[in-house]
Every structure is written in structure tokens, then in C-alpha cells.
Structure 1
Amino acid sequence: MVPPINQIFKYLQQQSKVTIWLYEQVNVRLTGVLKGFDEFMNVVLDDAVEISQGNSAKQRKLGTVLLKGDNITLISYED
């Protein structure tokens, strides 16, 4: 099993596009290229897009964002 920090570091090295699920906001996802993170799981995303789930799925371009670690529920690789 790969430790989570190693997996996230791999995403960073490969400039992977990731999807982030937000804590207590089940209808919102963020996608973007992982550009950096720290020991508190604060994450920098480049070319970030906010995707609203639900009846009317909407996308909003955000650009570069810094997401505080305690707002993150899940980080997954985007194909």
C-alpha cells in the first residue's frame, strides 16, 4: 500500500489533473492541475474549475487557487 502523502507527491511530480471533493459541500468538486501542497494538506491547483453537481450541472473557471487542507475530503486522479 502506498502512503497517501507519497501518492499526492506522485501527482505533483507528474503535473496530474486531480479532482478534489470538498468537506460538507457534497455538490461541489474542484478539478485542476496539482501545483503544490504542504504538511497541512493545503493544496495549490492551477487551471482550477469548480463543478457544481445536481440538477443543473455548472462549471466555473477559477484559475489558480489555494485550497485549505481542512476543506478537503478526497483527492482523486483525473484521466
Structure 2
Amino acid sequence: MASTKVQRIMTQPINLIFRFLQSKARIQIWLFEQKDQRIEGRIIGFDEYMNLVLDDAEEVNVKKNSRKQLGRILLKGDNITLMMNTYVIDSLLYFFS
């Protein structure tokens, strides 16, 4: 009986952000201590402090179900709680509708 060793690979946060940048994926960012507001946009730059430059950014108000165009913004890394690709959101909305 051959024993197989499972190798776990850890993904660094900076690598995931770089993948979002390379793929030009539209992402949604949950904001720290602002549970009703999210930011969506495409990453066009970032630094080691996780400060992000977003293009085509929108402020999404979850409670009011409204969006506000922001254009190109700089989002400080201290404000970021969660980042995810928006195709995940679209897939969930399609699945539950």
C-alpha cells in the first residue's frame, strides 16, 4: 500500500491581489466597520500595505440597493475586510433566482 503525501500550498494575500490585477477581474471589497457599503472595481495598482488603486470603481449600498459611480480611486488597505471576484456574486444570484 503506497502512502501518498498531500502537499499544501499557501497562497500569500499579495499573490491573490496580483492575480486579480493580471486578470483584470472586477472585484468587490467589503469595508471595515461599514457593513452596508461595498466597493467594486478593477485593480490597476497596489502596494505592500494593500492600498489599492481601482478603476471604474462603484460604491454599492447593500441596504438601499443603490450604486454610485466613483471612477478611479485609491482605497487605503486599512479599510479592507474582504476581497472577492464579482463573478462569484453573479453566480450566486443566478443560482438562487
- DSSP 3-state at the match of 1:40: coil
Q: Distance in 2 between matches of 1:58 and 1:30?
A: 12
Q: Calculate the aligned-residue CA RMSD, in Å.
A: 0.8
Deviation at 1:5, TM superposition (A): 1.2
Residue segments in structure 2 that go unaligned for 5+ positions in a row: 1-9, 88-97
Aligned-residue identity in percent? 49
Larger relative contact order (CA 8 Å, sep ≥ 6): 1
Aligned residues: 78
Q: Which moved more, 1:12-21 or 1:1-10?
A: 1-10
In the TM superposition, structure 1's runs of 4+ consecutive aligned residues that sit over 6 Å from their partners are: none
Higher strand share: 1
Residue segments in structure 1 that go unaligned for 5+ positions in a row: none
Q: Distance in 2 between matches of 1:16 and 1:36?
A: 13
Deviation at 1:4, TM superposition (A): 1.5
TM-score, length-scaled by structure 1: 0.93
